[in-house]
Amino acid sequence: MRVCPKCQSRYTDETLSFCLQDGAPLVDETDVSPDHPTVAFDADDAETVVSKKGTDRIGIDIPRESTEKETQERLAVSAREVSDQDNKGTVKTVAATAVVMVVIFLVAGAIGLGIYLNRESLFSSSNTSASLPTGTNTESNRENGSRDMSPSPSVSPDATPSPTTSPTPTATSTPDVEPDKIKDVVRGRLNAWKRATESQNLSSVMSFYASRLDRYYTRSRVSRSFVRNDKNRAFGRLDSIAISISNLSVEPGSAGDSAVATFDKEWRFAGGGRISTGKVRSRFDYRLSEGNWLITGERDLKVYYTK
C-alpha cells in the first residue's frame, strides 16, 4: 500500500511513485497513520480516490487566443516604434540636405554676383578708355577745364590793362590732323603692305602691324605673334600671291591719330598645284604710333566671290 504524506491519499498500486492528486512522492503504509482512506484500482473500473478532505486540481489555463493577440499587439507596437525611428531619421536627413542645398545656393549666388560686378566694373572702365582717343592727356584736360571754368577777374573802368605776354609754345609731337595728309599716308601704307604681301616677305609684312590688334578677322584682341604665325602658314602653302586693290576709301579719325581704310581686295593664289581666286570688301584700322601708321584691325566686310 502506497500513501501520500501530503493529502493522505492511499493507492493499492505498488508501482506508483507519486501522488496523482498533488504530485507528492508516495511512501509505504507502514510509515503513516492507519486512519486514512485508501484508493483501490480494479482492472475494469475507473480510478476511485477517497479522502477526508476535498481537493482541487491545480492548473494554469492560458487562453491561446489572448496570447496570440498580445503577441500581435507587441509586434504592432514594435513596428510603430521602428517606423517612428525611421521617420525621424528621414526627417533629419531631409533637413540636413535642405541646409546643404541652401548653403550651396548662397555661395553660388555670391560668386555669381561677384563675377557680375567685376564684369560691370571692367566694362565700365573699358568704355571709359575707349571713349578717349589714344594720346589724350586727361590730367591736362582737367587742368585746362578748371582754368576755363574759373571766373575771369573783373576790370574796373579806371584800371589800366597791363600788357599780356603769350607763353612760349612748347614743341609737342601732336599728330598731323589734316585729313588729306592722313589719307595720303594711309593709302601709301596700304599699297606698301600689298607689295610686301605679294613678295611673301614675312618680316616686311609684319612691320605694318601693331603689337596688338583689336580685331583680326573673326578673333578679338590678338597679339602680333599670332598674326605672324598665321601669315607664315599662308606663305608656306603658296607659291605666288597677286593682289589688286580698288574702291579705296580712307576716313581719318577726329583726333588725327587713327583712320579706317575700306577697299575691294581681289586675289589670285597659286600653290600645291591649285589656283584660288576671290574678291572681298576689306577693312583695315590704322593707329598712329611713334610716327608710324600701324594696322590695329584687319577683317573682311563682304565676300563677292571665291573660286
Residue 99 lies in a domain: yes
Q: Is residue 60 over pLDDT 50?
A: yes
Residue 224 covered by a domain? yes
Q: What is the pTM (predicted TM-score) of this model?
A: 0.44
Q: Among 257, 242, 263, which residue's Cα sits nearest to residue 290?
A: 257
Average pLDDT, stretch 3-14?
Answer: 83
Question: Do 183 and 301 lie in a common domain?
Answer: yes
| Strand boundaries in the chain, DSSP class E | 2-3, 10-11, 27-28, 212-216, 219-223, 240-252, 258-271, 274-289, 292-306
Same domain, 103 and 23: no
Tens digits of per-residue pLDDT, 125-147? 444 333 333 333 333 344 444 34
265 and 222 together in one domain? yes
Mean pLDDT of the chain: 75
Across residues 247-274, what is the average pLDDT?
A: 95
10 and 46 fall within a common domain = yes
pLDDT at residue 70 above 60? yes
pLDDT single digits (tens) 154-180: 444 444 444 455 555 444 445 557 899
Residues 100 and 213 in one domain: no
- pLDDT for 231 equals 95
C-alpha cell at 116: 557680375
Same domain, 43 and 97: no
Residue 184 sits in the same domain as residue 287: yes
Check whether residue 226 and residue 281 sit in a common domain. Answer: yes
* pLDDT confidence of residue 34: 57
On the question of pLDDT at 72 being above 80, the answer is no
Domain that holds residue 46: 1-56
Does residue 125 lie in a domain region?
A: no
Selection from 287, 278, 281 nearest residue 299 by Cα: 281
In a domain, 26, yes or no: yes
Q: Give how many domains the chain has, as a whole number.
A: 3
- Residue 166 located in a structural domain: no
Give the domain CATH number at 271: 3.10.450.50
What is the spatial distance between Cα 7 and Cα 37, in angstroms, rounded to a whole number?
Answer: 11
DSSP, collapsed to helix, strand or coil, labels residue 294 as strand
In a domain, 119, yes or no: no
Q: pLDDT of 88-104, one tens digit each?
A: 666 677 788 888 888 88
Angle 123-127-133 (CA atoms, 0-180°, nearest 5)?
A: 150
Summarize the confidence of residues 249-274 as an average pLDDT.
95
Are 262 and 301 spatial neighbours (Cβ–Cβ below 8 Å)? yes
Inside any domain, residue 193: yes
Report yes or no on 14 lying in a domain.
yes
Would you call 231 exposed, middle or buried from its count of C-beta atoms within 10 A (0-12, 13-18, 19+)? middle
Backbone angles phi, psi at 125, to 5 degrees: -65, -35
